[in-house]
Structure 1
């Protein structure tokens, strides 16, 4: 067992499905398998959903398969979701867990677009740096390996707003410039900023995290605080 920093480069330890599934079960979300070999979880009030979709391999972000899709809808019977968030394999499960806890606790999971600044404020509090050219939309970690940015949405990111010129929060880790991404995350345009801020704050948390295996592409960027 290793205890390593920084969290945003620590990977998912190969247990992203299990850790998030356990969190959802502890929160009382119901789960059942689908015909696409995915696992669908729904909150008790029917307003929030999470689906492990890696087996279906629906599409990629940054060349990586999407593993989890999270969503919210305005009322349980709605066939359409208000927003969606997508996370590839490799994303630190601690950050996704904190996003889920914030989503589960939100009284209005389908709303919250008033304060985009909260995302960058959360990162700044953790010591991340605002981009000099885009200080109102982009921040990076002090090691310049991970970014959180308000960007044009990539293809296949679904949102209740059908316009094609929308911006949404995107996050990605690139331990070595030009090398494959370690993980990517994409939040559709209507995803509440306060929930994205919860993910960002957790992603940038300074404390060490336990890992049994270290991601190959990031080993040289990690600091092993202790073993055992």
Structure 2
């Protein structure tokens, strides 16, 4: 499926004013979330039998009418029946950013109910197509083993290479891009706020590499803002080899 994209970046810069506008045209993963990212994912989770909880924090003054109540924060949390998986719509709270875009969905999993900490988490910004996040959650819901031993990046890179992606010449063991050079995948140090409630992230020294994770993003033109970004964070800190590539 293809859709017009980024009319501000025409394929032919010489297109005269008032002429037929030119568009970047790309596959579905460059077409956005259709403004239904929450609805599309929430419908999938409801079909899987996940429980939805809405938490509202606000301020209520004496003699204040209900319609005048000030809502400070609201969170929608979806929990799997075995409570080992959960997904939080965090855009309505105080969002932090990935690739200069607000994170909308945070998805986490743990191996045992006795542990309050997530074994790993994934983060998705706005404009990630809803079906991509839904497919990720359907696969997560079907898995029996949620915590797997850490393996090298070859498994991930081999998987994307099988779909035609190209390994980075300088970072062949850490990064890849799709054949159109609009979508990118890289293993490196994650942004500072991605901690997953792991206190060890707060004790990383200035000369030590912080937690590592896979980052993916779409950049339709050189220097253009990211359309969307995603991150899968590994709980245990790791020291990636070579240079680290951060999101723009």
TM-score by length of 1: 0.77
In structure 2, distance between residues paired with 1:26 and 1:81: 23
Confirm or deny: 8 A CA contact 1:57 1:65 kept in the other structure: no
1:9 to 27, 30, 35: 30
Q: Which secondary structure does the structure 1 equivalent of 2:200 belong to?
A: coil
Q: Which secondary structure does the structure 1 equivalent of 2:92 belong to?
A: helix
Confirm or deny: 8 A CA contact 1:83 1:158 kept in the other structure: no
5+ residue gaps, structure 1, are 192-228
Confirm or deny: 8 A CA contact 2:2 2:28 kept in the other structure: no
Give the aligned partner of residue 98 of structure 2.
Answer: 61
- Give aligned pairs, total: 190
In structure 1, distance between residues paired with 2:52 and 2:119: 21
1:20 to 23, 37, 41: 41
In structure 2, distance between residues paired with 1:84 and 1:29: 18
Deviation at 1:152, TM superposition (A): 0.8
Confirm or deny: 8 A CA contact 1:111 1:190 kept in the other structure: no
1:183 to 207, 211, 228: 228
Greater relative contact order (Cα < 8 A, sep 6+): 1
Deviation at 1:112, TM superposition (A): 4.2
Give the aligned partner of residue 102 of structure 1.
Answer: 139
Instruction: Tell whether 2:97 aligns with 1:52.
Output: no
TM-score by length of 2: 0.71
Deviation at 1:61, TM superposition (A): 0.7
Deviation at 1:58, TM superposition (A): 2.4
Give the aligned partner of residue 217 of structure 1.
Answer: none
Confirm or deny: 8 A CA contact 1:72 1:83 kept in the other structure: yes
Confirm or deny: 8 A CA contact 2:95 2:104 kept in the other structure: no
In structure 2, distance between residues paired with 1:172 and 1:54: 18
Q: Which runs of 4+ in 1 moved over 3 A?
A: 2-5
1:137-152 maps to which residues of 2 (within 5 A)?
137-152=174-189
1:66-106 superposed Cα distances (whole Å, 9 cap, x missing partner): 10000012322432222211110011222212211121111
Confirm or deny: 8 A CA contact 1:48 1:71 kept in the other structure: yes
Confirm or deny: 8 A CA contact 1:161 1:190 kept in the other structure: no
Mean alpha-carbon deviation: is it higher for 134-143 or for 182-191?
182-191
